[in-house]
Structure 1
Amino acid sequence: MPKVSSITRVLEIIEAVSYSPKPVSPLELSQALDIPKPTIHRLIQNLVDEGFISVDIGGGIIPGKRVRNLSVELWQHRQFFNERQMILQKLVDQIKETCGIGVPYHTDMIYTNRVATKLPLQIYLPIGLKSPMWCTATGKLYLSQLSLDSRHKILESLALDKFTKNTIVDIDALNDELDHIAQTGVGIDNEEFISEMVAVSVAILDKKSRYLGSLYIHAPTIRVSLEELLTHVPRLREAAKDIQTLVYELQS
């Protein structure tokens, strides 16, 4: 059997940690990648020191800041950014409301794409803005995609501030809401982040049906109700599939 280089092993560790839906232990990485325990511990420590991976409060290995930054930069690759904007523009032309994409970034969601409605009354959430997970359609959808263990760990680390009278800050109630979203596949923000704004979202997935981001639509309640936004979910899902096709090209 040919000798595997240290560089290859390092990249395999980063890939395994990034793709895992939950924190992984050094033992799990050692077994999955067939890397001796002393070697895996040494490589993990090097990657932690360099910021590529981190150790969570439970001792599990998770992606570090440099990997998270890289994932956002790849997602923002200019060619695919422009093509995603074209898909969003077509969606906005159909729905007549602002649409965009949010992706998880540490304990926030960050908006990576946005096409605004031409209607005069708008809610301005620009590209690059970070928003909370627990009270946005994009963030709640992301949380609903996680394993229960990962979800609980993230919720425990969040402040759960109350932005509006509708913001869900009770953990049990929030978990019930996330369970419902996991079943429907539709994230909902019923004036929970910004008063008089409603939003819905659907997931953008990779080749292995893993969550990558949330495609959303939002609107002021003076013009559109939450129930009316939900009627656009089929169109959102069609656009999400078009975006997924771009992702498949990037992963090929």
Structure 2
Amino acid sequence: MPDNDLTPQKDKQTPPNLRLLLILEEVARLGIAVKPAQLTEALGLPKPTIHRLLQTAEAEGFLQRDLDGRSYGPGFRLRGMAMNTMSSEHLRTGRLAILKSVAEEIGETCNLATPDREGMIYLDRVETKWPLRIQLPIGTQVPFHCTASGKMYLSTLRTNVLDAVLSSSTLEKKTDVTLTSSDDLKRELDLTRQRKFSTDNEEFMTGMTAIAVPVYDSHRRLLATLSIHAPVLRFPVSKLIDCLPVLNRAAQNLTDMHDK
């Protein structure tokens, strides 16, 4: 009997050249590390097919094993595709207009960052016009544990995922006030969840402060962070907190733009 007769009906209806794309789409849609059995159930493809395609996607860098060694999440090439898509001319023009309005109203540098495997990546930024500024160009990767954008992201992770991230990371001391204890950092993340914003009070760079708020996708998952940073001489953290209405309004505009 031909193998096709033993294949589930849904598999028969899925063109072979679409199967890997459907797997990547499902991993991106779920937003968490996915086990092969979950993909088999969701897509109706045979286990051998799922495993073969996962191995191919992993070998080519589109997917990568999660910390548990059994689940799969986006690899560097899939993350790169996502960032390049977000940087397309149509989306970037609208984003930059929003960031520019924030930078002009507050008078300080405004950033949009997205989470990567090892830290937050600056996707877009509009610089302050002040001669004294902190140079962190587009594409710069900054740590999770001591930046406003990174702490905002960490605060959205499930407990078991957060524990896995922290246990596999070194909380490097960047300044005298960097949080290097997991317990201290978790307390800070609890506070971040409650108040829905995060701060960096000279924890990443001496003399620099920052504040960040979340930008969500259509599933209310964190898509990016919107932040402003400034020299502490111009903007102590208490003054940055006064800017939250401007930041939250802009973050909602960014969320609405990506929902369309």
Same fold (TM over 0.5): yes
- Are positions 1:52 and 2:36 aligned together? no
Counterpart CA distance in 2 for 1:184 and 1:20 is 26
Task: Give the SS at the match of 1:237.
Answer: helix
| Deviation for aligned residue 1:120 | 2.9
- Are positions 1:180 and 2:188 aligned together? no
Which structure: larger Rg?
A: 2
User: How does 1:1-252 map onto structure 2 within 5 Å?
Assistant: 3-58=13-68, 59-249=70-260
Counterpart CA distance in 2 for 1:51 and 1:88 is 32
Check conservation: 1:55, 1:61, Cα contact below 8 A: yes
Counterpart CA distance in 1 for 2:62 and 2:200 is 33
Counterpart CA distance in 2 for 1:207 and 1:25 is 23
* 78-87 vs 158-167, greater mean Cα deviation: 78-87
In structure 1, runs of 5+ residues without a counterpart are: none
| Deviation for aligned residue 1:217 | 0.7
Change (3 A) 1:179 1:33: farther
Check conservation: 1:23, 1:150, Cα contact below 8 A: no
Counterpart CA distance in 2 for 1:39 and 1:117 is 52
Counterpart CA distance in 1 for 2:256 and 2:38 is 32
Pairwise CA RMSD: 1.5
The amino acid across from 2:16 in the alignment is S
Counterpart CA distance in 1 for 2:29 and 2:178 is 31
Check conservation: 1:68, 1:106, Cα contact below 8 A: no
Change (3 A) 1:57 1:91: closer
Counterpart CA distance in 2 for 1:124 and 1:48 is 35
Counterpart CA distance in 2 for 1:32 and 1:115 is 41
The amino acid across from 1:119 in the alignment is W
In structure 2, runs of 5+ residues without a counterpart are: 1-8
TM-score, L = length of structure 1: 0.93
| Deviation for aligned residue 1:213 | 0.4
Query: Any runs of at least 4 consecutive aligned residues in structure 1 with deviations exceeding 6 A, and if so which?
Result: none
Counterpart CA distance in 2 for 1:78 and 1:37 is 39
The amino acid across from 2:86 in the alignment is W
Counterpart CA distance in 1 for 2:145 and 2:94 is 29
| Deviation for aligned residue 1:127 | 1.2
Counterpart CA distance in 2 for 1:16 and 1:210 is 15
| Deviation for aligned residue 1:38 | 2.1
Cα offsets for 1:46-98 (capped at 9, x unmatched): 21122111112312111111101111111211222222111111111211111
| Deviation for aligned residue 1:159 | 2.0
Counterpart CA distance in 1 for 2:192 and 2:116 is 20
Counterpart CA distance in 1 for 2:216 and 2:228 is 17
Task: Give the SS at the match of 2:218.
Answer: coil
Percent of pairs identical after alignment?
37
Counterpart CA distance in 1 for 2:191 and 2:47 is 41
TM-score, L = length of structure 2: 0.90
The amino acid across from 1:161 in the alignment is E
| Deviation for aligned residue 1:18 | 2.0
| Deviation for aligned residue 1:14 | 0.8
Task: Give the SS at the match of 1:145.
Answer: coil
